[in-house]
Structure 1
Amino acid sequence: MDSQRSILILALAFVSFLLWQQWHKDYGQEPVTSQPQAEQLDSSGELQLSADEFGTQPVATSPAVGPASSQHEQIVRVETDVLQVEISTRGGDIVGLKLSEYELTKDSQTPYVMMRRQTGFNYIAESGLIGQHGPDARSGNRPVYHTNQLNFTLASDQQELVVPLHYEYQGLQIEKRFIFRPGQYDVSVEYHLNNTSDEVRVIQNYQHLRQTIDGGKDSSFFMPIYRGAAYGTASDRYKKYSFKDMQKSNLSIPTQGGWAAMLEHYFVAAWVPNQQVDNLIYSRYHQGQGLIGASGPMLQLQPGEQTVIATIFYAGPKVQDNLAELANGLDLTVDYGFLWFISQPLFWLLTLIQGFVGNWGVAIILITIVVKGVMYPLTKIQYESMAKMRNLKPKIEDLQARYKDDRQKLGPAMMELYRKEKVNPMGGCLPLLLQMPIFLALYWVFVESVELRHAPFMLWLQDLSAPDPWFILPVLFGASMFMMQKLTPMTVTDPMQRKLMMWMPVAFSVFFIWFPSGLVLYWLVSNLISLAQMLYIYRGMEKKGLHSRKA
């Protein structure tokens, strides 16, 4: 191509298209198709799973969620400084969960709703005991626990809040405990078991997340919202398992440790079973409902024996350090894609800078300066190559005129000119290709980091995760791109290509209207730094007589 500047602009356009395409693929809602399954729904609409699918053979019972028995379901409400949780006494399931520290929308004062049970849409966390003597294995009738109170609040000076639920079945005394701690989104879920019978009791714990696939939040063309499952095993730290995948086949993966989760962009709900034992990661789908979870090993309780089965339930923001402490690979739910090994250090640097300046917008500006500074040697090579190519424009045009009717001779003549003048026609491309992974890695940092959600910058920019409400940043970006074009005049002669290049800043300004303002801020600052670097590099070349802006 005659102009390295054209390569840069076209590469930017192409990469931005690929980014949007991949974003839409990963975060867009999957279409829902019905498919026959062996599992059946009972009269309450709950999903049934056979025991052998939990790995409980030879037990022939199943975890059942059935209609009300003689006991009435009640809702236990728990409030901490960061969580508002609703627990049903039927099965001890979490049927409602809000995040007190995260607003549903900017300045709405309404907490973000993660889990809920409502008409047309359910998103709940179920858990229980199956096996030969598990109370949840009874077909059509789950246990209804009893409790002495229905409202629990974690006091400001309290280090732990225990919410106990009690049930007795076939001589097996069960206390299901939910343990909350201040400032934490992970909840310990424990079964304290006491076999008071004179026979062996065989039980197995299970826990899963269940969600209506065709319900939930709205998605838009430019800001799609991801809803889907993911899991981790000893051999595969992080694996997405979309609702579309769930409809096609059932997971059944034995592993030591592991975890199962459902994601929705900035937030994640996950079950983390005992990491020291063998578990089974499983999934199911039936009539618009999908679930993913894990079951533990079979346990035999001798007469008079007591034991504790403990799991962890997490529901909250994708804070990488917190997730990494819970399970191997759970922090990868902050999905940076295949460039995660670059994104993670960049995110660490971004948070380090923000810790000093206290403003995420300022941190974005500073990390852009740092990255552009580190890449300056490559930038210099790129712009010097572009300038040398532009200086050759008269000689290139002369060759094109001389061999306009003989394309076979034009190529060798051009290569001879490049060799004689010691110019590499692709010299501006290699630095660009080397820089592109860093640009893409930063892109995913800005898109995936919950820390930027509703984060204010200054003046009219009060949410860096949302588009610029006044379109000022996109317009400034277009202006900076136009200035870069003026600083490096186009060498293409085709009128159509010249018009395309001329309108490129306008196209990008319109395109960036729908992008998060934090991302547009990054591109704007990057362009301004590039302008300064170009002026500096070209001025140095002019002093050496190697560059002419009028070439």
Structure 2
Amino acid sequence: MESQRSLLVIGLALVSFLLWQQWNIANAPQPVTPVAEVSPNSATSSADLQLTTADTEQPAATVTASARTIEVSTDVFNLSIDSRGGDIVALTLPDFELEKGKAEPYPLMRRLPGFEYVAQSGLIGRDGPDDSRNPRPVYSAAHTSYRMAEGATELVVPLTFNHNGLQVEKRFIFTAGQYDVRVEYLLHNQSTEVKTVQPYQHLVQSIDNGESTSMMMPIYRGAAFGTSSERYNKYAFDDMQEKNLLEATTGGWVAMLEHYFVSAWVPDQQADNQLYSLVRNGQGVIGAKGPAVNIEPGATVTLGSTFYAGPKTQDNLAKLANGLDLTVDYGFLWFISQPLFWLLTLIQSVVVNWGVAIIIITLIVKGLMYPLTKVQYESMAKMRNLKPKIDELQARYKDDRQKMGPAMMELYRKEKVNPMGGCLPMLIQMPIFLALYWVFVESVELRHAPFMLWITDLSAQDPYYVLPVLFGASMYLMQKLTPMQVTDPMQQKIMMWMPVAFSVFFLWFPSGLVLYWFVSNLISLAQMLYIYKGMEKKGLHTKKA
């Protein structure tokens, strides 16, 4: 019984600790650590990858005065495109507030003093305008701002540039209601020679920005990629600093992750691409490079890729690339979490309240787990009733351990008791509950979602700490109902203070998770009362003698 209780407490503590770390990313202070400011006009080359990144200043003579910022607004985006290179240098999400109740939209990408998070793309190779031998091209645009008209389904932002007889049109194609943007190059060879170019796309983010730490330990914020053989891989900034990524794959994708949101480049999924990473002047770069393309004289070629910037919405991400939906990181239990998330969204679509959906899915999961719960408590009761006989055997064979083992097994066989019967059901249940916890942690749908009364944001802590107190009370009642044989005074004191400790610990938990724990405890209390009543009818003791 003591080992079972210890497993439960350790499991609960571990899960709670991991959840608290993950939720800290939404609430931890986010200072900006100054780094050397990087100019979007700069370029450097890498001998192994031959790509252009914004890392070193260009000579002033190469800077064209016509460079400017082009503002674009759609129903889901407000973004800025730098005409030099056609890079996305700022992007906000108006449908997602930075803080609940405030009108400020969530800034996913931005260029600030000491911090940069941008999306770059271009054409390298022998005749590419973005090749390291050339300054970044400065595109021309008909307007300085573009806005998607009300009722329109699409917005096209064309940028043009002529490079040594190669007419380049870089198009950003926005679709109403979608966070993925089609980025295309329309290339017309106006010269008499074959032109060779190679497309690339990458994401650049300052590494030392203070946003990847919590009070206890680092919280993951960084890069990820997927290949045809490995659907999802994290590639942290520390990994970049140790070794450049270099993966050949058909299709694939690269991304930068943060809690609830992701930016990603999805290159041509039929092409043989090369995924890469670099670290330059305090910036991490992860990207994809396509195969070289030859353009005959007079020919026109279109090259395209998809850029995504927005919430981690699994259905949308899964349509873009194989494994991109795994950026909703449920860890190694994703195969359990995904069906649970599907069920949670199905329930929410009916009840139209995420808090009510949490309660209902808790009822369903606890109900399905009831047979295991019953086996667990009945096995514990049987073991408790065997305690006098076990004590007798231990006293008889206290000096002969070799005989004690077989004697104990014979006693279990004779009494038809499985000594692991109480642990195994609990071990089976733990992955399911852990997977459900990660659903609550990772689902952007719960961000700023209201429940009722004073709970206006299930992703934030209870402002009046009512749920943590109720949770502690329910845990105390469970402790009183759960039979235990702890005799050590120190252990008894620790167990007595556990409800208080967890209540304090849960003060900083998001209310959605505390709601889940509280409802789960209430259901457990009801199940325990029902199971104990049945056991007493069978003559099994349920309380400490």
TM superposition score normalised by structure 1: 0.90
CA contact (8 A) 1:256 1:279 kept: yes
Distance, in Å, in 1 between the alignment partners of 2:445 and 2:360 is: 17
Residue identity matched to 1:214? D
CA contact (8 A) 2:207 2:237 kept: yes
Residue identity matched to 2:117? Y
Q: What do you get for the CA RMSD once the two structures are aligned?
A: 2.9
Distance, in Å, in 2 between the alignment partners of 1:219 and 1:467 is: 19
What are the Cα deviations for residues 271-319 of structure 1, in whole angstroms up to 9, with x where unaligned? 1111111111111002211100111111111110001111111000000
CA contact (8 A) 2:212 2:220 kept: no
Name the structure 1 match of 2:497: 503
Q: Is 1:175 paired with 2:169?
A: yes
Residue pairs, 1:107-506, within 5 angstroms: 107-139=101-133, 141-215=135-209, 217=211, 219-221=213-215, 225-396=219-390, 414-506=408-500
Helix, strand or coil at the partner of 1:136: coil
Distance, in Å, in 2 between the alignment partners of 1:206 and 1:521 is: 46
Helix, strand or coil at the partner of 2:49: helix
Name the structure 1 match of 2:8: 8
Q: CA deviation at 1:22?
A: 8.7
Helix, strand or coil at the partner of 1:108: coil
Distance, in Å, in 2 between the alignment partners of 1:45 and 1:155 is: 32
Per mean C-alpha deviation after superposition, the further-off stretch among 506-515 and 264-273 is 506-515
Helix, strand or coil at the partner of 1:208: strand
Per mean C-alpha deviation after superposition, the further-off stretch among 213-222 and 516-525 is 213-222
Alignment coverage as a number of residue pairs: 536
Distance, in Å, in 1 between the alignment partners of 2:39 and 2:111 is: 17
Distance, in Å, in 1 between the alignment partners of 2:53 and 2:196 is: 14
CA contact (8 A) 2:21 2:214 kept: no
Distance, in Å, in 1 between the alignment partners of 2:265 and 2:495 is: 51
Helix, strand or coil at the partner of 1:53: coil
Distance, in Å, in 1 between the alignment partners of 2:453 and 2:397 is: 58
Distance, in Å, in 2 between the alignment partners of 1:438 and 1:164 is: 49
49, 65, 70: which one pairs with 1:53?
A: 49
Distance, in Å, in 1 between the alignment partners of 2:41 and 2:370 is: 61
83, 92, 95: which one pairs with 1:101?
A: 95
Distance, in Å, in 1 between the alignment partners of 2:212 and 2:7 is: 37
Q: CA deviation at 1:156?
A: 1.7
What are the Cα deviations for residues 220-263 of structure 1, in whole angstroms up to 9, with x where unaligned? 32696532000111111111100000001111211111111100
Distance, in Å, in 2 between the alignment partners of 1:266 and 1:357 is: 23
What are the Cα deviations for residues 408-435 of structure 1, in whole angstroms up to 9, with x where unaligned? 7766665554444332232110000010
Residue identity matched to 1:302? E
Q: CA deviation at 1:126?
A: 0.7
Q: CA deviation at 1:517?
A: 1.7
Distance, in Å, in 2 between the alignment partners of 1:76 and 1:87 is: 5
TM superposition score normalised by structure 2: 0.91
What are the Cα deviations for residues 124-154 of structure 1, in whole angstroms up to 9, with x where unaligned? 0011111111111153611111111111111
What are the Cα deviations for residues 7-40 of structure 1, in whole angstroms up to 9, with x where unaligned? 4334433454566679999x999xxxxxxxxxx9
Distance 1:261 1:11, change over 3 A: closer
Residue identity matched to 1:12? L
Distance 1:123 1:161, change over 3 A: same
Long gaps (5+) in structure 2: 30-35
CA contact (8 A) 1:192 1:307 kept: yes
Per mean C-alpha deviation after superposition, the further-off stretch among 203-212 and 415-424 is 415-424
Long gaps (5+) in structure 1: 30-39, 55-60
CA contact (8 A) 1:6 1:490 kept: no
Q: CA deviation at 1:397?
A: 5.3
Distance 1:64 1:372, change over 3 A: closer
| Identical columns (%) | 67
Distance 1:286 1:70, change over 3 A: closer
Q: CA deviation at 1:520?
A: 1.6
Distance, in Å, in 1 between the alignment partners of 2:87 and 2:228 is: 27
Name the structure 1 match of 2:33: none
Distance 1:296 1:6, change over 3 A: closer
Distance, in Å, in 2 between the alignment partners of 1:22 and 1:340 is: 16
Distance, in Å, in 2 between the alignment partners of 1:63 and 1:423 is: 67
Residue identity matched to 1:198? T
Q: CA deviation at 1:439?
A: 0.8
